[in-house]
Structures are given as C-alpha cells and as structure tokens.
Amino acid sequence: MQTVDIFERLRNGETVPAGDPEAYKLREASFATKKLLLQMNSADDPAEVRNFLSQITATEIDENTAVFTPLYINYGKNTKIGKNVFINFDCVFLDLGGITIEDNVQIAPKVSLLSEGHPIAAKDRQSLVPGHIHIKRNAWIGANATILAGVTIGENAVVAAGAVVSKDVPDNCVFGGIPAKMLKHIE
C-alpha cells in the first residue's frame, strides 16, 4: 500500500511505474492546469497573466516578471519562478520533476524545460522518470533550446539557440549544439 502521494514521490525524484494506482491524479491535475492556461493564454494584461500563473504555480509571481503567452505547463505546482524573469512566447514547461528558475533569468521563444522522461527499456517505457531542472541566476536560455530532466544551468550561463542540454552547464559559460557542449567561458 502506497503511503506517499504521487506528487511527493515525483518531487523526491522517484520513478513512477506504469500502472501506478495514483497515476490518474497526474491527468486530473493536468486538466485542472489546462483550464487556467486557457484563460492565462487569452489574457492581454501582464498583471492578469501573472495572476493566472500564480494560481497555476501556487506561488506569487513577482511584478517584475514578464511572461509572453502562450505558455504551456502540464502541472504547475512544481515550478518556482524568481524575480525579474522574462519568459518569451511559446515555451513548454513539463514540471512534474520540478523546475526552479532563479532571479533575472531570460528564456527565449519556444524553449522547452522537460523535467520528466521515460526509461529507454521498452518494458519500462510507460514509467515516468522525474529530474529537477534548476536554472540559476542571470542565465539566458536561447530560442528553441531544450533542457532535459535533471539538468542545472549555472549562474550567468548562456544556452545557445537550438541546443539540447542533457548535462549540467557550469557557471559563466556558453553551451550549444546537440547534444550541448561547452563552447566558451564568459569573462
């Protein structure tokens, strides 16, 4: 008998196996988030957008944070957004594994933050594997970049447009490519 809620297990980094008896809660929460997203993505007032995002994330969104909609989030309660953050159009946040975005981060259009994935083994592929994404202060994520589960983007780091990041990015450097690798240090 499971005693720990499925959301807590995901936050703790536990794989949720296929057929988990609480899996239905993930879909229910996702549909509840979708209702708020539809309203948020239709709003044209920045304060209203922040208000809906606050409801989705269950945290206060700083008045200096700007979100250009549409933004797509599958859950929301595992996303934490700092102050003076800029999120451009058409981003996707899958946050069941957790996403932390620190202060002064810039996120370009069409960025995907994917804090969850699946095992490679075919017999286990329906399982859900979480991995917290952490984007540190003053990082810049370029257009159409994808950050995969378990990755930390260092302070002042830049992820080049189109990069697929599958490993941690150190502070003060530029990463780019598929898979992303160190391109240079930032002085």
Query: Which positions are catalytic?
Result: 118
Structure tokens at 6: 């499925």
Nearest Cα neighbor of 95 from 140, 147, 141, 164 is 147
Other beta carbons within 10 angstroms of residue 36's beta carbon come to 16
Q: What is the DSSP letter of 16?
A: B
Q: What is the DSSP letter of 166?
A: -
Q: Which helix (H) or strand (E) holds 140?
A: strand 140-141
State how beta strands 140-141 and 158-159 pair.
Answer: parallel
Phi, psi of 58 (to 5 degrees): 60, 35
Which residues lie closer than 8 Å to 90 by C-beta, 6 or more apart? Answer: 70, 71, 109, 110
Separation between Cα atoms, residue 113 and residue 148, nearest integer Å: 6
Place of tokens 């810039």: 106
